[in-house]
Amino acid sequence: MTTGGIVKRESRLADGRELFYFDDADTTLPPERAIDTRDLDTRPATATMRQDVLTGDWISIAAARQNRVFLPPAHLDPLAPATPDNPSEIPSRYDVAVFENKSPSFGPSLPEPGTPSALDDLREVGFERTRVSFGRCEVVCFSPEHEGSFGTQTVSRARTVIEAWADRTAALSALPGVEQVFPFENRGEAIGVTLHHPHGQIYSYPYITPRTERLLASIESVGRDLFERILETERAGDRVVLSGEHWTAFVPFAARWPIEVHMLPHRHVPDFAATNEAERDELAVLYRRLLRGIDAMYDTPTPYIAAWHQAPVNVGRDTVRLMLQVTSPRRAENKLKYLAGSEAAMGAWIGDVPPEQSAALVREGIEKA
């Protein structure tokens, strides 16, 4: 059992991949789980990273991802509980399920335990440098239903997903060679999702991501209390959209996207594993309410990326705070923001909606929801 009465059950898929069931505190499921009896192919080889000498960024070349399922009908949903006609990835009925991705961007190979950190090597820049894409990628299924998102779940189910994020963050952070763990949800075809099933993913990287490297540089420049000062400033302003005892959500001062909402815990916690039960309980209510409010802004569901930024595993633990960043390209009911020349080519952003106006629209959606 984890916390909040949520029970974790461990299993394996037919090709050896790990599978974890997280049963709701109020589950109606029996404890027994079926065995995966499929005859599966050998897992694809771990991908290879190549370095871009212009930026120093590492790009994982994961060709096996080309074979993933694309928008299947409900009766062939690979994330639904298995049936005789649909031998899916999950052999039993479940509340929340987490399993290793069949065609991951990172992993399944890991460096040998005790191998010295490769961060210094990865930060060097040179021509035609390659490295193994060590790490791990997992799929987090929020529900056995074919359609939905995190926001469409019950509060109890949302709490179970949060417990799964905390459990897997701790476990993945302990794997050799993993430097950062990133839970996220892609929602909507406009974002590029290939499955309608309500689910998210967790990436475990062998390096600190470029976005987090820039954050660490900002902390070095501005001060170790950067997140404390952000929270204090935003809570005193007019861009807050939702707040509780432990969390505050707000549209940031320099929002890039037409819809962009950040959420911070009121105390310093580096990742989900460090949150306490009260913080997880409140987050299940507030985060669900936030996403439902974003959906209620228009008559149809809003596409978004919900990104949970966590501190790296080995650095910045006392300065980088767990932070949600929800972003959507939806700039009007029937208009999307596309990254064209300035943003895509130069990384020079132009905002379409003033952040204060965006905050007012999100608050209206939350009230409507």
Catalytic machinery residues:
199
Name the pairing type of β-strands 48-51 and 180-187.
unpaired
274-282's contacts with Cβ under 8 Å and 24+ in sequence apart are 274/322, 275/166, 275/322, 277/3, 277/4, 278/245, 278/246, 279/246, 279/247, 280/3, 280/4, 280/159, 280/162, 280/163, 280/166, 281/4, 281/159, 282/244, 282/245, 282/246, 282/247
Angle between helices 277-295 and 155-173 (to 10 degrees): 120
Question: And the tokens for 334?
Answer: 């029937």
With a CB cutoff of 8 Å and minimum separation 6, the contacts of 270 are: 310, 311, 316, 317, 318, 320, 321, 322
Q: How far is 78 from 82, CA to CA, in rounded Å?
A: 8
Candidates 183, 98, 145, 159; CA nearest to 288 is 159
